[in-house]
Structure 1
Amino acid sequence: MESFQLKVTIPSDEDGCILLRCPRCGELFKVAVDNYEDDSVLDIHCPLCGITAGNFLTQDVIDLALAKTANAVMPELEKELKRELGKMGNGLISFDVKMDYGEEPEKPIQQAIEALQKVTCKDCERVSKVSPALAMSSYTCPYCGIGQFNGF
């Protein structure tokens, strides 16, 4: 089987921010696409618990990627199995490959969280969106990881 590449595009909101989810605490937050792809941003930090992780993708992004992968791989796998197993057998034994798979639905990604508040880091001056409770108290900047205090 040849290699292939699939592209999953995460839609941004009107401010150019994409929705992310912390794998540890489940906090939803948004970061600007330009800053997310910037080489100067080494890690993304959760604004609530402050951890960095290799994957802040939301479940609907993961589900779409898995569905696209299954829809691309399963027909190719069936062809490859038929090709390989078709060579096997003799007059008494034969192999026939019949795979029963349906196409996985590829649900579009929704940017459903609009209750997030835009905040600007006092240290790196980058904009992100966090929950209103964090915006009014303290949060970790998703880009630089420095704690921000917005108390009274």
Structure 2
Amino acid sequence: MGTDFAAFCRSRPIVSAALHNRLMRNHRRFRMAEGAELVGRQGNSVEMQVSIPLDDEGFLGRQCPECSLLFRMNAEDYKALPDDLTLWCVYCGHHAEHSEFLTAQQRERLLRAVGDLGMQMVSQSLNRAFRGLSRGSSGCSVSITYESRPFYPRPLPGISEEPLTRIRTCPGCHIEYAVFGEHRYCPVCGRLPAESVAFDALEAEKARLEALEALPGETKALLREQGGFTRNWVDTMENLVGVVEALASSLFRAAVPNADDLLRGKGNVFQRLDDTADLFVAAGYADLRISLGPDTWQRLTETWATRHLFTHNDGVVDQKYLTRVPTSTARLGQRLVVTDDMCRRALDDTKALCEALVALSP
């Protein structure tokens, strides 16, 4: 594990204020596990410092109190942030005071340290209460026996959370963080720029294709037989259109002052390639069809038509598809076949389209 990261656990007093004062005067008499120590007091609270082990990359785990998903942050970046930081969940966008983002394992470690302190505080109270009390006094019908034993804290639980696989850098604040799924937010800045989300989504689609190809032969054969590969390729086609729709809509609304007026009554206009290009041209921007060239634009048109066919007609070729893709050799009523090569080519073309859309922005 990497260097420990100091965390503070402020527990509410469980004894009287007088005992609390004695506690702080005699704190050296308490045995604390390695990684935990009393460092002072604040009002009626005890201030305890508990180290949180980092992973091998120097990252600190965070867990959203709303969706319970884990992400990680570069500990050096995290320490440099203000104490009153409001942290964002990278997945669901929930934001709250950063101490609310303790992981389950970190919380267990902190509570163990607090519990050890509490046990010793109670033991000291009992020692004082029974001090000088005679045992088995004559005339008493009850005999009280109390034996004080030294307390030895157990080692604090370690931290063994999911290791990170890819480090992200926020384009705004440049903080480093790691995620374990699709995300839309920087833990410090909040909502990520639309272009970051788009290109990340394209990388995810590429990674999914690569993961399928990397499966063992027997598993691949089983998935292929059950249609898993075909379903994945169709999903990729549908997802590519969604990526462009979200990016184009965000960029257009940010760049065009009267965007709402221009979009009123046009429905899901950013799902339609030529209509999207026409919108930007009407707003004074370059024509995407010219920027990308006729060959790329034609292939994109085929991808969009394929997506529409599977979304609305289960992939069965209709006249609308043949009108949009006049070069297709498919026949009316035939079910279209999507392949890995088609997906990879569509990914490359869609990435080029996203780059062209970003280049339109002022």
Q: TM-score, normalised by structure 2?
A: 0.35
On the 8 A contact 2:60/2:73 being kept in 1, the answer is yes
**Paired residues for 1:116-127 under 5 Å:** 116-127=165-176
Query: In the aligned structure 2, how far is the partner of 1:147 from the partner of 1:123?
Result: 8
- The structure with the greater share of residues assigned to helix is 2
Percent identity reads 23
Match of 1:53 in 2: 96
Picking from 55, 70, 74, the partner of 2:115 is 70
Higher relative contact order (CA 8 A, sep 6+): 1
Match of 2:11 in 1: none
Residues 53-79 of structure 1 deviation map (CA, whole Å, 9 limit, x = unaligned): 331111121112222222233133222
Higher alpha-carbon deviation: 102-111 or 16-25: 102-111
On the 8 A contact 1:11/1:111 being kept in 2, the answer is no
SS in 2 for 1:9: strand
Matched, 1:14 2:64: no
Unpaired segments ≥5 residues, structure 2: 1-18, 28-37, 39-47, 203-362
| Count of residue pairs brought into register by the alignment | 147
**Paired residues for 1:86-125 under 5 Å:** 86=131, 92=140, 97=146, 105-125=154-174
CA positional deviation for 1:107: 4.3
On the 8 A contact 2:67/2:92 being kept in 1, the answer is yes
Residue 14 of structure 1 aligns with an amino acid whose one-letter code is: D
Matched, 1:43 2:91: no
SS in 2 for 1:7: strand
On the 8 A contact 1:32/1:127 being kept in 2, the answer is yes
Q: Which has the larger radius of gyration?
A: 2
SS in 2 for 1:122: coil
SS in 2 for 1:25: coil
Query: In the aligned structure 2, how far is the partner of 1:40 from the partner of 1:105?
Result: 33
Residues 16-47 of structure 1 deviation map (CA, whole Å, 9 limit, x = unaligned): 21111111101110011122122448222110
Unpaired segments ≥5 residues, structure 1: none
On the 8 A contact 1:67/1:104 being kept in 2, the answer is no
Q: TM-score, normalised by structure 1?
A: 0.76
On the 8 A contact 1:71/1:104 being kept in 2, the answer is yes
Match of 2:341 in 1: none
Higher alpha-carbon deviation: 37-46 or 91-100: 91-100
- RMSD (Å), alpha carbons: 3.0
Q: 1:37 to 1:115 in 2, by over 3 A?
A: closer
